[in-house]
């Protein structure tokens, strides 16, 4: 490749770490030099507006629109995304078919006071910007008070250290990628708290028809992650999932079998509906749609209404 490959990303430390990982994998796969790449930081609406909940300003697309606009216009060649932030549909002209190996998908309980979620005293304050985590938390511990916690990993840790809350949640994947060993964490089993759909996965988006970039990305494609996300994202798409709908989902592969677990909750945590499907890996997308249909059939009218 003769030109500089421009990699678009958000500017948070975690987003930059993901872009750097992508660059390192491309360098190794093709024997390329670091100077053949440019990491282009793009500020999104979700980054700029930190004092309001995501559901109030438009949802997941707020972390991707400006980056995708640059990709469409040719200002960057690829975009590196945290897949849990990605809407299920791409803009015309763009596609996602390259995923790096998935990191730990679990949530982590974070508290400088020690203990676990079960150890929090009655009425303790927990900070989170995730409607899913809030609903799951209140479903298990309706006695707790949940407050809005926007910002990147470092910002949320500072809020915790300032005692704005007793505890918060972060993704294990982000903590691992940042090598944030100083942050105390307790991993939460998916049996206790299903993660966000596609949590822990990095996706690399490109322009349709850009054959040179497609060939560059081909060695980076991780098939198991691709198949797991196909199931999870079909589940999310069938639910019309957004930041206003508390949804958890996780697909796991054992041999030739894929098992998908899914959960939908009322926004106030008063009810949770869970289900699962298992079958051949190639049927993951169909299983996601089928599981979503089952949960929607079990939910009454207004299940997702804001409460």
- How far is the first Cα of the chain from the last one, in angstroms, to the nearest whole number? 53
Number of domains in the chain: 3
Its domain, for residue 157, covers: 107-187
Evaluate whether residue 80 is within a structural domain. yes
CA separation (Å) from 280 to 105, 134, 252, 262, 287?
21, 33, 12, 17, 9
Q: What is the pLDDT of residues 206-216, one digit of tens each?
A: 999 999 999 99
* Residues involved in catalysis: 85
The predicted structure's pLDDT at residue 306: 77
Ranges of the chain with pLDDT below 50: none
Q: What is the pLDDT of residues 153-192, one digit of tens each?
A: 888 889 998 999 999 999 999 999 999 888 999 999 999 9
Evaluate whether residue 226 is within a structural domain. no
The predicted structure's pLDDT at residue 50: 58
Partner residues linked to 109 by β-bridges: 169, 186
Residue 77 sits in the same domain as residue 214? yes
CATH code: domain of residue 93: 3.40.190.10
Residue 67 sits in the same domain as residue 205? yes
Residue 41 sits in the same domain as residue 183? no
The predicted structure's pLDDT at residue 129: 87
The predicted structure's pLDDT at residue 157: 87
Residue 90 sits in the same domain as residue 15? yes
The predicted structure's pLDDT at residue 51: 54
Evaluate whether residue 133 is within a structural domain. yes
Q: Indicate the pairing of strand 107-110 with strand 186-187.
A: antiparallel
Residue 72 sits in the same domain as residue 207? yes
The predicted structure's pLDDT at residue 245: 84
Q: Which residue, 290, 135, 120, 101, is CA-closest to 203?
A: 101
Evaluate whether residue 230 is within a structural domain. no
Rounded CA separation 282/224 (Å): 11
The predicted structure's pLDDT at residue 77: 98
Residue 170 sits in the same domain as residue 57? no
The predicted structure's pLDDT at residue 60: 59
In Å, the largest CA–CA distance within the chain is: 61
Percent of all residues in the chain with a pLDDT value above 70, rounded to a whole number = 93
């Amino acid at each position: 490749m003769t030109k500089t490959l421009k990699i678009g990303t958000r500017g948070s430390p975690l987003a930059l770490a993901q872009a750097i990982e992508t660059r390192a994998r491309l360098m190794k796969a093709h024997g390329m030099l670091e100077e053949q790449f440019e990491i282009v930081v793009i500020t999104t609406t979700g980054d700029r507006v930190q004092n309001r909940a995501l559901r109030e300003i438009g949802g997941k697309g707020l972390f991707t629109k400006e980056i995708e606009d640059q990709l469409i216009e040719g200002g960057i060649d690829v975009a590196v995304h945290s897949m849990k932030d990605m809407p299920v549909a791409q803009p015309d002209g763009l596609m996602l078919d390259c995923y790096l190996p998935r990191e730990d998908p679990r949530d982590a309980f974070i508290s400088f006071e020690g203990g676990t979620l079960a150890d929090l005293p009655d009425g303790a304050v927990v900070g989170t910007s995730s409607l899913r985590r809030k609903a799951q938390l209140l479903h298990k511990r309706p006695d707790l008070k949940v407050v809005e916690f926007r910002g990147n990993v470092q910002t949320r840790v500072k809020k915790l250290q300032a005692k704005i809350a007793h505890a918060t949640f972060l993704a294990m994947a982000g903590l691992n990628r940042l090598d944030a060993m100083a942050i105390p964490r307790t991993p939460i089993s998916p049996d206790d708290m299903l993660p966000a759909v596609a949590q822990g996965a990095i996706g690399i988006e490109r322009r349709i028809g850009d054959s040179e970039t497609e060939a560059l990305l081909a060695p980076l494609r991780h098939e198991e992650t691709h198949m797991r996300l196909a199931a999870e994202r079909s589940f999310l798409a069938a639910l019309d999932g957004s930041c206003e709908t508390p949804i958890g989902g996780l697909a796991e592969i054992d041999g030739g079998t894929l098992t998908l677990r899914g959960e939908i909750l009322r926004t106030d945590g008063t009810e949770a509906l869970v289900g699962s499907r298992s079958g051949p890996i190639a049927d993951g997308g169909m299983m996601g749609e089928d599981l979503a249909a089952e949960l929607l059939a079990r939910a009454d009218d207004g299940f997702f209404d804001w409460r």
